[in-house]
Structure 1
């Protein structure tokens, strides 16, 4: 047995001496382990703790010494960066070590990615069969050193006990879209770091899109000269600095190899995605012979589903094989994704040549033709020892995919019917349901929620994702090889936005992929989130606090006062508030029951963890004469009763960029039970957003307009009810950013609380109107 770690030995000796002197020695409270994802088995001891302090030694011994030393070096650097403790890595004198890594292929650990951690009087011992297992053990050690309430630079008491751990699924993935918006190499490396700390091990890298081709292919150099650039439409002009400067970006092969190397050091497999035959407009814009029409489209500036598909002929298949050959040289992964999703076949159906090919092949429809095309491509990969991966769309359409193809199932409706079909056809399946694991989707209905498409996928919805489809037998369930979240970047123009969308939902994904089903516990997960959020802050992650943020429900109270109820989405943490405009602290008054407050009050609220650390930043609610007479656009319902998208507006000269709740293609809102008594004026703040919504154009609602630029109309009771006000949009149509509109209200005598319909006339495809706020004045 090795000697106790020095810090532990000193602490025990001091306590023993004090006891002999008759001095009471109360043992300091030791924080409970707060680990995420939850390990497969945790066995905390009844008592005891080891201390890790500045200068503690990390020892490396056993097999794969070079790789394990690199892991120990990473751990030491991470602890220094986030905690301020400086640990020293050695390969000799292991008896003095506070933390020891040992790789022993005969150790009896359950999985190549598994590990055992023992914390006792000898310090922290990490045992694994492989360096991969040692790496995952190192991420758990880092979490042991950053428990709830940890303080930077202070020694850490780590409770005694044993952790036996291994992953539930082999594929624990994030899909990153670099086609719509481009991320720098440095930012992708940060993301890989953060993924690996939650034991995620696959980055599915979406590199080809309608809106941009992002990977250098030496045999086809025009792909990155032409296909990597699009016109700077809408907010892209702010990113480039001018509408005349195109939005461009691609990764050289050297940069991609660097990312692959960096990821491999953190046990993350980079799987490239070359999406075909759809999502190919940038490729056809580069080489028109790849398309069906022979025409050259522009690289797409819209979002949605483009009809520009690759032509399913021999020349195109040779192009695809050439691209795959270069991708296989760059990316050593066993897997390579060939997409296959959202292939709008209107051009194929309109082409006599493609229809003739379909009949020659004896196929009944274009979905079967896509299946044939995919089979040819998959065969090329299989012949080179690779495993094709693709989306489930063809199975949705009733066609088949090559048996060897791994299916990513994103159609989670109908109790995962498509995933079950894939399993029963013999495919391995990765579960990535859009309903809960598409992290570009909104996280809440808060008025300050960032831009994103509906419906909302909350932290709890992500956590409660059913990974094994209902109805799957035990043998069928074995074909579920993993779980994956998607980050589609139409509305993710910056890396800050990427982070906001991913965290903390990435923690929920991590637990789905790693932890055993029996450990699934939402309340336990919430109890472990304060420590995780503190780690985000230490790592510099710009996470979303939507699940914990205060929400205000305001109503009238007697005597001109206001009744305010506070809540948050996760129903977790302690809400604390102030009424003098100051930021609440951990010592501020806790919210217990509904508040009754006078007018001219600035109410601020924030959420705190049991250790006093913040879970959500303060939010503000002004209580004055305008509080109940005004509504943000995000607080109004859409006329279609469908959940609204949240779209970004132009950046103002000062302040933050506005975000609007908009039913795309239908600029119409409902305000139920609006307090209209004595109202004589109305003000509205609006902005016109560039139309770039692709296939949603066919559903746009066009309303008759009496002026060239249109107008906003406010109607009583319904959208065809009495007209209360008309606000012309001539000045707003020419403005960049928000414009304020004012009008007299033709209020019928005796009007009190009534329903309102508000809409913009004209064609939204000429510019989608957004409503920031409307307020009635008496």
Structure 2
């Protein structure tokens, strides 16, 4: 039976996420798909039958159309036989007779199906007109991953399956499942039943960011081996490989609570109730420890057929090993020595990782670990996940090891997605808006073409300390996952952020139709505030993803449809509170709010005499004269950093101007090696050549008890007329001995140089 032709017709749009490699439109009649049409697949191929059933289900969800599946050819035909060395490639051809998706493998057909379903977006109770086209597409990287941490917070089987569905929609083919933590052990190990009996339950959970207050509620959960196998199968049906992670030898306090004899002190231990990294780690000098690791991995490889097994290897404090007689005896027996590169304890960690790797290799598996596995010398066949920036990945590729790029500065989805964090659920910190995720180019230019071959993939991570439920998981990863998948799938020349913003709207319609809780920041006003040093104004340039009208106010009142309409650059020349909103029929976007003040240095030309730290350069020196201050998050672009050199800036006031004070703020986050200034000086000049010092202050080294906050430094001096003002600030050149980074330089973050 064909569907009633009175159903409205929607036209498919092949500009989807991720962008296909080649789209060639054909000068032919389109194909109209109606209810009752048949999806054909090769006889006797169970995977292709499943693919056909997936496509029918996707289209029914999105359009209400009921399609049949049958062996042989159909109105939509799924087939193998395309010639391409990339098994995940596909070709999608549409003409007036129908649609054909062909690929070298069933996985390739599945990605063709994703493109087809996304071209329809979500249009209930309609028939679909598919314009004639030929699409040829294939992924840039073979490893396209997304990680979920279930150690800090636990998620149900149905929630995990939804997460896998989310990955499939974004052409992601690896699900990295982080299963063990200081705060909870989540996978059944039959030889060690107490891992789940004791290790999966914590008595309570800290409130907020290690506030010292606790909620008093027991928390726990784990997956049986049968449940884990069910997840593996559910993922495999969608061409996704599950990579399990058992993090060792650190992040093991939950395991030690169950088996205290595996720790250096013998306990007692309890499953950790706070966040962070516990000093209690597996005792590397204990023979039982190595046996325990091998026994656990033996059961893990029975559950998970993946080539890779992740052994963590990150954030393993060595303090217990330094004083543990067994660990020191093991160091001596192995003849490990400290040198300029590594301490003997780091080399001991390397020994533990090597033991794990040898066991996995002997059982036909490959080890993957975080970039700390480089410390003390990398295990011979290991693959490295580079999370602390890209440095570890670059180093590993130069050593001819495979690398998955997952730098926290671009791909940690537990970071905030907006500068305005007051309206957001609590997150770990950081600032990672969609545009920054999208801007990530995984192939480091510093590698030779030969070395670049070792970069095998890209992954984003979601750590769940501050993510207690699945709605929030979705909010943190959607739609940033869309930006991720273009870095994973698309050829670099296909990437264009403005085009991507247009293509993401139909994808978001699928999120809506699925009832997924996505973040809406991309629908807010995108605002650029640039100092115009010629005119002495702050120029506000605004736009929206869909060209929705923007309304604004400058007096701090709430903007709406009756407020001033934005129709070009707004030049701000006096203090104000700028608020903007995008107005749409379905409701207004969130408001942006920026407080702008003017001092004698605002919007004046500025020159740096010493470099800004590249990682935290943002829009550069003008951040110091743009009339805006930063909040306690130093990654928003309102702060710039200095590292391994002093801050030295010259401001041109354009004419002799009387000044008598400087205010300078610093943002301090000691755990991230971000410290206060040690000295500040102010100099003046008439000719920008000869400078005279007019003020200076020095500050003591920070104590462990000094709070993390924004510090205000005000230097007052006898009024002086000058055209040029030089401001000098000295960072902490050597972090104090009480800190884990002792002896290293600290970062100095400054937001504005305020002269009055």
Q: Shared fold (TM-score greater than 0.5)?
A: yes
Name which of 347, 361, 375 aligns with 2:320: 347
The residue number in structure 1 matching 2:133 is 161
Name which of 370, 380, 400 aligns with 2:359: 380
The residue number in structure 1 matching 2:404 is 430
Q: How does 1:510-659 map to 2 (within 5 A)?
A: 510-550=485-525, 573-577=547-551, 592=568, 594=570, 605-606=581-582, 617-619=589-591, 637=630
Distance 1:68 1:619 in 2: 48
Which piece of structure 1 moves more, 449-458 or 261-270?
Answer: 449-458
Distance 1:402 1:528 in 2: 43
State whether residues 337 and 390 of structure 1, in contact with CA within 8 Å, keep that contact through their aligned partners in structure 2.
yes
Distance 1:275 1:66 in 2: 36
State whether residues 10 and 126 of structure 2, in contact with CA within 8 Å, keep that contact through their aligned partners in structure 1.
no
State whether residues 249 and 316 of structure 2, in contact with CA within 8 Å, keep that contact through their aligned partners in structure 1.
yes
Go from structure 1 to structure 2 and tell me whether the alpha carbon gap of 1:570 and 1:446 turns closer, same or farther (over 3 Å shift): farther
| Length, aligned pairs only | 611
1:362 aligns with 2:367: no
The residue number in structure 2 matching 1:128 is 103
Go from structure 1 to structure 2 and tell me whether the alpha carbon gap of 1:66 and 1:210 turns closer, same or farther (over 3 Å shift): same
Name which of 358, 376, 395 aligns with 1:421: 395
Go from structure 1 to structure 2 and tell me whether the alpha carbon gap of 1:568 and 1:245 turns closer, same or farther (over 3 Å shift): farther
Q: How does 1:89-128 map to 2 (within 5 A)?
A: 89-91=68-70, 94=73, 97=75, 99-102=76-79, 104=80, 106-128=81-103
The residue number in structure 2 matching 1:508 is 483
Which piece of structure 1 moves more, 28-37 or 477-486?
Answer: 28-37
The residue number in structure 2 matching 1:470 is 445
Distance 2:184 2:222 in 1: 8
- TM-score where L is the length of structure 1: 0.70
Name which of 701, 706, 712 aligns with 1:701: 706
Q: How does 1:279-298 map to 2 (within 5 A)?
A: 279-298=251-270
State whether residues 644 and 663 of structure 1, in contact with CA within 8 Å, keep that contact through their aligned partners in structure 2.
no
1:34 aligns with 2:6: no
State whether residues 231 and 244 of structure 1, in contact with CA within 8 Å, keep that contact through their aligned partners in structure 2.
yes
Q: How does 1:204-353 map to 2 (within 5 A)?
A: 204-235=176-207, 243-312=215-284, 313-353=286-326
1:459 aligns with 2:464: no
The residue number in structure 2 matching 1:179 is 151
Go from structure 1 to structure 2 and tell me whether the alpha carbon gap of 1:56 and 1:215 turns closer, same or farther (over 3 Å shift): same
Distance 1:662 1:474 in 2: 40
- Output the aligned Cα RMSD: 4.2
Name which of 371, 390, 396 aligns with 1:392: 371
Does the residue aligned with 1:483 lie in a helix, a strand or coil?
strand
The residue number in structure 1 matching 2:698 is none
Distance 2:29 2:538 in 1: 47
Distance 1:72 1:330 in 2: 28
State whether residues 389 and 408 of structure 1, in contact with CA within 8 Å, keep that contact through their aligned partners in structure 2.
yes
State whether residues 279 and 342 of structure 1, in contact with CA within 8 Å, keep that contact through their aligned partners in structure 2.
yes
- TM-score where L is the length of structure 2: 0.72
> Structure 1 unaligned runs (5+)?
12-27, 555-562, 624-634, 646-660, 670-696, 704-711, 722-778
Name which of 51, 54, 68 aligns with 1:74: 54
State whether residues 113 and 136 of structure 1, in contact with CA within 8 Å, keep that contact through their aligned partners in structure 2.
yes
1:641 Cα deviation (Å)? 6.1
Distance 1:641 1:107 in 2: 50
State whether residues 638 and 663 of structure 1, in contact with CA within 8 Å, keep that contact through their aligned partners in structure 2.
no
Go from structure 1 to structure 2 and tell me whether the alpha carbon gap of 1:602 and 1:40 turns closer, same or farther (over 3 Å shift): closer
1:663 Cα deviation (Å)? 6.0
The residue number in structure 1 matching 2:379 is 402
1:130 Cα deviation (Å)? 2.0
State whether residues 216 and 253 of structure 1, in contact with CA within 8 Å, keep that contact through their aligned partners in structure 2.
yes
1:60 aligns with 2:40: yes
1:353 Cα deviation (Å)? 2.2
1:330 Cα deviation (Å)? 1.1
State whether residues 665 and 699 of structure 1, in contact with CA within 8 Å, keep that contact through their aligned partners in structure 2.
no
Distance 1:613 1:48 in 2: 35
Distance 1:39 1:215 in 2: 38
1:333 Cα deviation (Å)? 1.1
State whether residues 547 and 569 of structure 1, in contact with CA within 8 Å, keep that contact through their aligned partners in structure 2.
no
1:243 Cα deviation (Å)? 3.6
